[in-house]
């Protein structure tokens, strides 16, 4: 078995080795949230980076890569023309308001291009992402436990879920497994635990507004679509998935004024028939490049795979990896996939 031996070797090689090996490739990196205030709607999903941490990342990346903008990436995918060595494309998913208040000023300061992918139902804080609701529910349970009312919160969960929930840790694990199809249950839990989702939307304004989006466009940033509701497209029938894509692109196009809108798959493209998805793009020329997660390759269909910067900052798990480690691990996985495709076992 050669692959386990090669994998062990790949994991001890430094990032500098992979930067040389992948010199002619595009590395794409994406984030979700950056900021210094508390993120109760996010922090139980993953831990956002602080503004200082993010600026440190930008300085590191500037020292090791050359940033390319969306237009350069489109040209590369359309023509296959050679790229300068060590290029990197940056993007953000979900459209949190800190993209305007925190991320945007840092990118302007360092003159770094970026694409911001937005779920169109959340623009102007009209709706809330079900995962953000889940994080608020977990925050409420923790707050009730601190107040000595933890048993009351667990009883509410048990009543709504029709199953016994005995302690906070198992409650959190269960809540994090809820999906977009469980939103009615999530809303019932919000009422039972007295979590005011509409009030949070109004007071915190967690998502970008039309005005903020248009300012970002005027400053040279690209706005992409991320579905209407962030539903995993693989769990919808093809026509419903197509509607999620096209409607979100149409709305972002109207808000941003751009003719072509890139699209980032909510969660990932796993389970999707990409040939059928690609047919949507052929029939709708206003659809730009597709962006995905899970790697550093650009697939033959020009689906740009990206490395998730916050991947090692999930929920209660202490952040273990630095950005160089996160990038190195992505290159290791890409090398392992290369060996598998060439029959190495």
Domain membership flag for residue 122: no
- One domain for residues 103 and 176: no
| pLDDT single digits (tens) 180-193 | 999 999 999 999 99
Boundary residue ending a domain (184, 201, 218)? 201
| pLDDT single digits (tens) 235-265 | 999 999 999 999 999 999 999 999 999 999 9
Overall average pLDDT of the 124-135 stretch? 97
Share of the chain above pLDDT 90, in %: 65
Domain membership flag for residue 247: no
Whether the per-residue pLDDT at 63 is higher than 90: the answer is yes
**DSSP per position, 181-192:** GGHHHHHHHHHH
CA distance 322 to 60: 11
Boundary residue ending a domain (201, 225, 253)? 201
- One domain for residues 137 and 109: no
Q: Is the model more confident about 283 or about 222? A: 222
- One domain for residues 94 and 34: yes
- One domain for residues 37 and 74: yes
Domain membership flag for residue 246: no
Overall average pLDDT of the 308-329 stretch? 76
pLDDT attached to residue 17: 87
- One domain for residues 112 and 166: no
Residue 152 CA to its chain's centroid (Å): 34
Domain membership flag for residue 54: yes
Domain membership flag for residue 69: yes
Domain membership flag for residue 253: no
Tokens 């999707």 locate to 272
Q: How many domains does the chain have?
A: 2
Boundary residue ending a domain (201, 226, 255)? 201
- One domain for residues 272 and 171: no
Looking up residue 79, the CATH number of its domain turns out to be 3.20.20
- One domain for residues 9 and 32: yes
Q: Is the model more confident about 6 or about 55? A: 55
Reported as a pLDDT band with limits 50, 70 and 90, residue 22 is confident
Question: How many Cβ atoms from other residues are within 10 Å of residue 64's Cβ?
Answer: 14
Domain membership flag for residue 257: no
CA distance 233 to 133: 20
CA distance 200 to 204: 5
- One domain for residues 37 and 90: yes
Q: Print the domain residue range for 156.
A: 130-201
Overall average pLDDT of the 205-216 stretch? 98
Domain membership flag for residue 219: no
Question: How many Cβ atoms from other residues are within 10 Å of residue 285's Cβ?
Answer: 9
């Amino acid at each position: 078995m050669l692959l386990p031996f090669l994998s062990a070797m790949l994991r001890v090689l430094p990032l500098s080795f992979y930067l040389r090996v992948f010199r002619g490739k595009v590395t794409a990196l994406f984030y979700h949230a950056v900021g210094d205030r508390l993120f109760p709607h996010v922090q139980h999903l993953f831990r956002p980076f602080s503004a200082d941490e993010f600026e440190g990342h930008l300085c590191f990346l500037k020292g090791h890569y050359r940033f390319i903008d969306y237009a350069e990436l489109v040209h590369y995918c359309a023509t296959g023309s050679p790229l300068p060595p060590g290029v990197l494309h940056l993007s953000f998913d979900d459209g949190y308001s800190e993209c305007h208040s925190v991320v945007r000023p840092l990118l302007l300061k360092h003159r770094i291009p970026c694409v911001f992918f937005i779920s169109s139902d959340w623009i102007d804080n009209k709706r809330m992402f079900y995962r953000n609701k889940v994080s608020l529910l977990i925050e409420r349970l923790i707050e009730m436990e601190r107040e000595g009312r933890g048993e009351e919160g667990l009883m509410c969960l048990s009543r709504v879920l029709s199953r016994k929930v005995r302690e906070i840790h198992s409650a959190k694990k269960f809540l994090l497994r809820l999906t977009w199809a469980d939103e009615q249950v999530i809303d019932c839990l919000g009422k039972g635990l007295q979590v005011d989702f509409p009030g949070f939307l109004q007071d915190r304004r967690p998502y970008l507004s039309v005005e903020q989006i248009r300012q970002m466009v005027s400053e040279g940033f690209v706005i992409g679509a991320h579905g209407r509701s962030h539903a995993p497209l693989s769990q919808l029938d093809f026509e419903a998935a197509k509607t999620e894509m096209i409607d979100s692109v149409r709305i972002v196009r109207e808000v941003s004024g751009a003719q072509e809108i890139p699209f980032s798959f909510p969660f990932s493209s796993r389970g999707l028939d990409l040939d059928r998805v690609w047919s949507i793009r052929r029939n709708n020329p206003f659809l730009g490049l597709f962006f995905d997660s899970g790697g550093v390759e650009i697939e033959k269909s020009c689906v740009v795979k990206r490395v998730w910067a916050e991947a090692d900052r999930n929920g209660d798990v202490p952040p273990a990896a630095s950005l160089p480690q996160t990038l190195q691990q992505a290159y290791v996985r890409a090398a392992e996939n290369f060996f598998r495709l060439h029959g190495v076992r």
